[in-house]
């Protein structure tokens, strides 16, 4: 009996001890302490702060970048060794800021034990030196080493403190990191507000830089500061990101802000297999008017209604998609269509106007579409669709078979991310593998057309090249519940790039 009491008392004591250790250390991952060593940037300093997995810095930088960013390519290439150093860490907290007219870096890193021991002795691991050209360091002060590497775009200094490695752009920054860590008042005193348990977090603050640059270009700006907070989690094959912006409202005219209304993207909207790509938005009336001004020759909307009526018709929820199948002469093509829900009589009037054109003389009698009171579809010379009822207008290139009730698919089933938030001001979805396959089929059709003496007006080699690149993108969905927040979900394509995504 006495032994049992001793046993259970000991077990209870051990549990209490472990619980206290757990509470003291906190439930957050060990990397949470890394941010305690990062100094807060100056109030007027633009900065980027990242806290999370080191593998973030190993992500490949695209070889092709927009022309506007091409000037930054030398800097990006020059900083690759720095990113490689950060990428060797399992957990990181990195601050990059612009202060005193120079780039400042402060990084707190958690490396494996063997690497930490070598670093504390002023030596880089051999495999690091193989991966990073000319990597070396020399002692410059008490426990501080200067890091040398091939491009040397950014001065770097290193110091090992307990279980953490500090890397910064100056010895003074290293000293500042040690000081704030001892006081416990680093940048993480501003807590993460989005998905705290996710592995990676990012905060960007421009300190008014965007407004100043826009003003120099002659744009009217609100003059405020813009910030972005984001979090993401996942693996290399799939993941999810959420973000929220601050201070961007002033960059949108009031008419647009009030016109971009949240829409319930529900079963009213149709999707067809294969669902390749799509996007939806609530089109403000002011933007609809601008679209109509562009159509001075009635090319976009031939035989349209009066401008005022057209403006009313276009404004509201609009969805466009590459989905289903279509046909041009003997060639099978992906379907393309636009949907306007809830347009009532205006929608039916527009469809009647759509079919009442000179080109419609070449079209045989319209075949009505089940569930639609106006318009219809025809297969000659290609799959033209123009149908409407009180609830929905459908326009595009789509085979009639897609429109059978047993083949129609609801939009939320094609884009599951839409189910999560209920409403959104904008969404976008792309299945890169399916679009790549569709382009490859288009290239095949183009070859046949060329043999028949027809020119499709596009370079088939460029189409095939784009097809292969798209197949590697995978599947991407973006949903904006409001103008200042969003969700991104991605799934990379399988290694066998020739295989179509499920």
pLDDT tens, the chain, 502 aa long: 444 333 333 333 333 333 333 333 333 334 457 999 999 998 889 999 999 999 988 876 666 655 555 666 666 777 788 999 999 999 999 999 998 888 899 999 999 999 999 999 999 999 999 888 889 999 998 899 999 988 777 899 999 988 899 999 999 999 999 999 988 777 766 678 899 999 999 999 988 888 888 777 777 777 788 999 999 998 878 999 999 999 888 777 777 777 789 999 998 999 998 999 999 999 887 666 666 666 555 554 555 555 566 777 888 999 999 999 887 766 778 899 999 999 998 899 889 888 887 666 667 778 888 889 999 888 777 788 999 999 999 999 998 888 887 778 889 999 999 998 889 999 999 999 999 888 887 787 777 766 766 666 667 788 888 888 888 888 999 999 999 999 999 998 665 544 443 3
- Using an 8 Å Cβ cutoff, are 38 and 96 in contact? no
Q: Which two tokens stand for residue 220?
A: 């009217």
DSSP state of 494: P
Amino acid 21: pLDDT: 33
Amino acid 72: pLDDT: 62
Burial of 388 (0-12, 13-18, 19+ CB in 10 A): buried
Strand partners, 139: 145
pTM of structure: 0.81
Strand partners, 167: 107, 158
Amino acid 415: pLDDT: 94
Q: Which helix (H) or strand (E) holds 106?
A: strand 102-110
DSSP state of 409: E
| Largest Cα span, the chain | 102
Q: Which helix (H) or strand (E) holds 461?
A: helix 460-471
Please state, in angstroms and as integers, the Cα–Cα distance from residue 54 to each residue in 108, 117, 162, following that order. Answer: 11, 19, 19
Amino acid 67: pLDDT: 57
Convert 114-175 into a string of H (helix), E (strand) and C (coil): HHHHHHHCCCCCHHHHHHCCCCEEEEEECCEEEEECCCCCCCEEEEEECCEEEEECCHHHHH
d(CA 274, CA 323): 6
Q: Do the strands 485-491 and 475-482 form a parallel or antiparallel pair, or are they unpaired?
A: antiparallel
d(CA 161, CA 439): 55
Q: State the sign of the Cα–Cα–Cα–Cα dihedral 112, 118, 123, 125.
A: negative
**E strand intervals along 18-80:** 47-53
- If DSSP codes are grouped into helix, strand and coil, which group holds residue 100? coil
d(CA 376, CA 369): 5
**E strand intervals along 284-424:** 316-328, 331-341, 374-378, 384-388, 392-397, 409-410
Convert 270-314 into a string of H (helix), E (strand) and C (coil): EECCCEEEEEEEEECHHHHHHHHHHCCCCCCCCCCCCHHHHHHHH
Amino acid 115: pLDDT: 94
d(CA 135, CA 147): 7
d(CA 257, CA 331): 43
Strand partners, 377: 367, 385
Amino acid 199: pLDDT: 93
- If DSSP codes are grouped into helix, strand and coil, which group holds residue 412? helix
Strand partners, 334: 325
- Helix, strand, coil % in the chain, rounded to nearest 5: 35, 30, 35
Q: Which two tokens stand for residue 55?
A: 């593998």
Q: Which domains does the chain possess?
A: 30-190 (3.40.1000), 254-491 (no CATH)
């Amino acid at each position: 009996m006495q032994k049992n009491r001793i046993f259970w008392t000991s077990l209870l004591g051990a549990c209490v001890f472990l619980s206290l250790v757990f509470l003291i250390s906190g439930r957050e991952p060990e990397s949470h302490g890394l941010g305690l060593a990062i100094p807060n940037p100056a109030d007027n300093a633009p900065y980027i702060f990242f806290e999370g997995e080191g593998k973030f810095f190993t992500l490949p930088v695209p070889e092709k970048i927009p022309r506007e960013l091409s000037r930054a390519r030398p800097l990006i290439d020059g900083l690759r060794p720095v990113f490689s150093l950060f990428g060797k860490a399992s957990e990181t907290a990195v601050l990059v800021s612009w202060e005193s007219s120079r780039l400042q870096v402060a990084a707190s890193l958690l490396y494996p034990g063997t690497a930490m021991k070598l670093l504390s002795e002023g030596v880089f691991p051999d495999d690091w030196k193989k991966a990073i050209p000319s990597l070396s360091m020399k002692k410059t002060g008490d426990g501080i080493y200067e890091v040398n590497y091939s491009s040397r775009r950014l001065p770097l200094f290193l110091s090992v403190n307990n279980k953490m490695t500090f890397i910064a752009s100056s010895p003074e920054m290293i000293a500042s990191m040690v000081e704030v860590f001892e006081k416990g008042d680093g940048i993480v005193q501003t807590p993460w507000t989005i998905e705290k348990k996710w592995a990676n977090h990012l905060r960007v603050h421009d300190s008014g830089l965007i407004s100043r640059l826009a003003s120099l270009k002659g744009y009217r700006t609100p003059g405020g500061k813009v910030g972005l907070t984001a979090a993401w989690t996942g693996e290399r094959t799939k993941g999810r990101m959420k973000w929220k912006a601050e201070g961007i409202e002033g960059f949108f005219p009031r008419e647009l802000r009030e016109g971009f209304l949240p829409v319930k993207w529900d079963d009213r909207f149709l999707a067809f297999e294969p669902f390749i790509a799509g996007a939806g938005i609530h089109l403000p009336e002011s933007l609809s008017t601008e679209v109509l001004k562009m159509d001075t020759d009635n090319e976009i909307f031939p035989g349209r209604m009066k401008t005022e009526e057209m403006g009313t018709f276009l404004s509201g929820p609009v969805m466009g998609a590459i989905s289903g199948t279509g046909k041009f002469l003997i060639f099978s093509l992906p379907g393309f269509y636009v949907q306007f829900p809830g347009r009532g009589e205006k929608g039916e009037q527009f469809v009647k106007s759509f079919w009442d054109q000179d080109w419609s003389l070449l079209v045989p009698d319209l075949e009505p579409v089940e569930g639609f009171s106006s318009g219809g579809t025809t297969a000659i010379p290609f799959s033209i669709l123009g149908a409407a009822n009180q609830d929905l207008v459908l326009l595009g290139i789509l085979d009639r078979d897609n429109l059978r009730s047993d083949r129609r698919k609801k939009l939320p089933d094609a884009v599951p991310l839409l189910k999560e938030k209920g409403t959104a001001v904008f969404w976008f979805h792309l299945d890169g593998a399916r679009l790549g396959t569709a382009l490859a089929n288009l290239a095949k059709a183009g070859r046949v057309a060329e043999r028949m003496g027809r020119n499709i007006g596009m370079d088939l080699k460029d189409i095939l090249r784009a097809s292969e690149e798209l197949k590697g993108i995978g599947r991407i969905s973006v949903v904006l519940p409001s103008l200042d927040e969003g969700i991104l979900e991605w799934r990379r394509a399988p290694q066998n790039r020739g295989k179509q995504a499920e």
